[in-house]
Structure 1
């Protein structure tokens, strides 16, 4: 009764007691001991169930109208909206920035359970109520994060996806034909498969010592550069470029060698020459030099491969060898301008000089010349004996 008198007094104070639809103004706090229903479709005897406050009509909105007028205080207006009010509109719940005409947050009807879940740890789950990291996405098939530049800021629209499943983790170039330029397959048992540190890239090492450092301990460390084009063509597959001598180093670490004798070799271009050098514990020693004119200099002996069976012309000394008479040799030279079994100048200029073959050809000629000399020596001996007999 006390509350009724107070309510009637408030209504009378504003002169609205006689109107059935007049606004009601309460000049004190309003406390409802029970549930409240607001909206034109609330019914007398409403069954609230566990609802404390219920909004019930065909346009459900809660408006936050900030009446601040001082420039130093925020005054933006906000609204909670349940469903669009237009025919065919969306079934959704949203938070609306009504001052700026924007809708920064929307949840559509029938969204899966735990579509967005914020745990008490601050972890955010997408599709899970048990996020174990800061952002945890769960999906039945290939959970994906899409990065889409939509052109609204004047830049060319472009879209990338980052996703993973049981076959691989990948980055997808959506606008580039959905190509997968970056992939990681499961089952990599080693840490540090790819590391970027101090502007260096390490493969299976977390402490790369050069721009690219590949380090393995199972005998599989290797680099392969493969051009698989079906069109045959000469191609440069590796280039070493430097403002100065460009070096390619090979080091054998199988034996501890403080002096590094013969363990490190370098191929390099210096002073217009291609050099092959060794490091026997001191300054590099040049073992081979090739200049721009094709002149080759080596510091040691030159050997043909000992693993190849060379056709050494020792057959010249065999009894069945048919040594060409000198008269035929003379005729051959007069007709052809070169020795038998020796390529002509024209052939050499056309096809090049096979050094191994030429050495064997020259050895054959030396051995034949030796036979000719021995034969002539025998004739000279016989003539001398006959001369001695005639003079005696």
Structure 2
């Protein structure tokens, strides 16, 4: 009986040692069906279509490169599934194990076709069938953000490039989300065209000047400057007939000025020392005055009379048909 007990104890000890020992296989290992690795694998595991399954509360696949020559690459990589801490995030990631950072990460719940690379190299975001090199699909205002985060010592600045049914625009996110640039759907061909010589065309693909405006007809002005939020705010315009208006949106002649205040024209000499002002007053009189004189030197009245605030000097003859 004593020998039997001793023998059983030895057998159990040997069996236990075999169970907990690492298995080293010095030849090819071929698994005909499926393989499960991890503490939670069970006998009779239902693999479904899985060929290899990792099953436990922390799953990692480590690529540990043991190259020790300076001429061979030896960086280590890990495929990581989920955080290992309680309350951590759910994701699949590729970790640069040597550097200790994650360059690629897909969070659980990401939408279908969040990233698709076609055989021809086209990349799709949100689409299974990208039609161009980079194709982004979203149900509301697809947007690309350019975000300078200050990490290189430069001031933080963020810009958005986006488009929707209303406009294509650039948004200054940092400064109140202002939209300094917009293109509306349906804009004409070459609505804005910049040539290699920096000539700018508006409505033309062949600008012949620094700014070349080509209109297709109609009554809209070729050029217009106005003041936002001000009634009768047109400050300068060129209409479709080539007539120029200042302070009017309806020029009646090739050059039409609507007076604002007491100065309509100012003429200055080459030295910048002498100035003459010309204007029309509310009585219809045309006035000429030297700036700073405090008076009007010459008036051409609405009735055709000339009024001088000074002497009339004539070096030639004077003729008149009425009383002189």
Q: Same fold (TM over 0.5)?
A: yes
**Does the aligned pair in 1 maintain the 2:299–2:306 contact within 8 Å?**
no
Gap runs ≥5 in structure 2: 1-13, 243-253, 255-266, 277-283, 285-292, 308-319
- Give me the CA root mean square deviation: 3.5
* Per-residue Cα deviation, 1:189-228 (whole angstroms, up to 9, x for no partner): x211222221232222222222222223334561112223
Whole-angstrom CA distance in 2 between matches of 1:361 and 1:195: 53
| TM-score normalized with structure 1 length | 0.58
1:50 to partner: Cα distance = 0.4
Counting only pairs closer than 5 Å after superposition, residues 357-376 of structure 1 correspond to structure 2 as 359-360=304-305, 367-368=322-323
* Per-residue Cα deviation, 1:275-329 (whole angstroms, up to 9, x for no partner): xxxxxxxxxxxxxx9965679xxxxxxxxxxxxxx9xxxxxxxxxxxxxxxxxxx
Please state whether the residue corresponding to 1:19 is helix, strand or coil: helix
* Per-residue Cα deviation, 1:25-53 (whole angstroms, up to 9, x for no partner): 11111111000001110010000000011
Counting only pairs closer than 5 Å after superposition, residues 1-392 of structure 1 correspond to structure 2 as 18-188=17-187, 190-198=188-196, 199-219=198-218, 220=220, 222-228=222-228, 350-356=295-301, 359-360=304-305, 367-368=322-323
Query: Closer, same or farther in 2 for the Cα pair 1:230/1:294, shift >3 Å?
Result: closer
Whole-angstrom CA distance in 1 between matches of 2:181 and 2:306: 59
Whole-angstrom CA distance in 2 between matches of 1:148 and 1:179: 16
Query: Closer, same or farther in 2 for the Cα pair 1:37/1:294, shift >3 Å?
Result: closer
- Aligned counterpart, 2:281: none
**Does the aligned pair in 2 maintain the 1:214–1:221 contact within 8 Å?**
no
Whole-angstrom CA distance in 2 between matches of 1:221 and 1:137: 38
1:178 to partner: Cα distance = 0.5
Query: Closer, same or farther in 2 for the Cα pair 1:212/1:44, shift >3 Å?
Result: same
Give the number of the structure whose residues are more often strand, by fraction.
2
Whole-angstrom CA distance in 2 between matches of 1:75 and 1:31: 27
Whole-angstrom CA distance in 2 between matches of 1:178 and 1:82: 38
Whole-angstrom CA distance in 2 between matches of 1:121 and 1:99: 33
Whole-angstrom CA distance in 2 between matches of 1:102 and 1:229: 54
- Aligned counterpart, 2:9: none
* Per-residue Cα deviation, 1:344-365 (whole angstroms, up to 9, x for no partner): xxxx972342235585369xx9
Whole-angstrom CA distance in 2 between matches of 1:76 and 1:229: 64
1:102 to partner: Cα distance = 1.0
1:156 to partner: Cα distance = 1.1
Whole-angstrom CA distance in 1 between matches of 2:294 and 2:175: 53
Query: Closer, same or farther in 2 for the Cα pair 1:171/1:33, shift >3 Å?
Result: same
**Does the aligned pair in 1 maintain the 2:298–2:306 contact within 8 Å?**
no
| TM-score normalized with structure 2 length | 0.69
Whole-angstrom CA distance in 1 between matches of 2:143 and 2:107: 20
**Does the aligned pair in 1 maintain the 2:81–2:90 contact within 8 Å?**
yes
**Does the aligned pair in 2 maintain the 1:161–1:171 contact within 8 Å?**
yes
Whole-angstrom CA distance in 1 between matches of 2:105 and 2:231: 55
**Does the aligned pair in 2 maintain the 1:200–1:210 contact within 8 Å?**
yes
Give the number of the structure whose residues are more often helix, by fraction.
1
- Figure out how many residues of one structure are paired with residues of the other and give that number: 253
**Does the aligned pair in 2 maintain the 1:173–1:180 contact within 8 Å?**
yes
Query: Closer, same or farther in 2 for the Cα pair 1:75/1:357, shift >3 Å?
Result: same
Whole-angstrom CA distance in 1 between matches of 2:207 and 2:86: 63
